[in-house]
């Protein structure tokens, strides 16, 4: 495929069929992929932490309920 050089940009070419701009600098592309993957990993970690926090909150509420039952049971005897 024959790309047309973009004036003033050595690594940018224009696709004459779609009129889109293509970056031919592979190191910039690899850097973009690395950043995208890192962001995806970070988002996954955040989701896991939020789920873990919700589980901890639920466990604490369960413990509080059990303690209240023990306290109320011992007061009735």
Query: pLDDT digits over 19-76, tens only?
Result: 999 999 999 999 999 999 999 999 999 999 999 999 999 999 999 999 999 999 877 7
Distance CA 2, CA 26 (A): 18
Span 59-70, pLDDT tens digits: 999 999 999 999
Q: What is the pTM of this model?
A: 0.63
* CA–CA separation, 57 and 76 (whole Å): 29
Residue 14 reports pLDDT greater than 80: yes
Identify the pLDDT of residue 39: 98
């Amino acid at each position: 495929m024959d790309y047309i050089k973009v004036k003033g940009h050595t690594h940018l070419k224009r696709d004459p069929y779609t009129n889109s701009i293509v970056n031919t600098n592979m190191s910039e592309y690899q850097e973009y992929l690395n950043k995208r993957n890192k962001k995806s990993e970070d988002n996954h970690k955040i989701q896991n932490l939020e789920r873990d926090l919700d589980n901890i909150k639920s466990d604490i509420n369960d413990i509080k309920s059990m303690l209240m039952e023990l306290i109320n049971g011992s007061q009735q005897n």
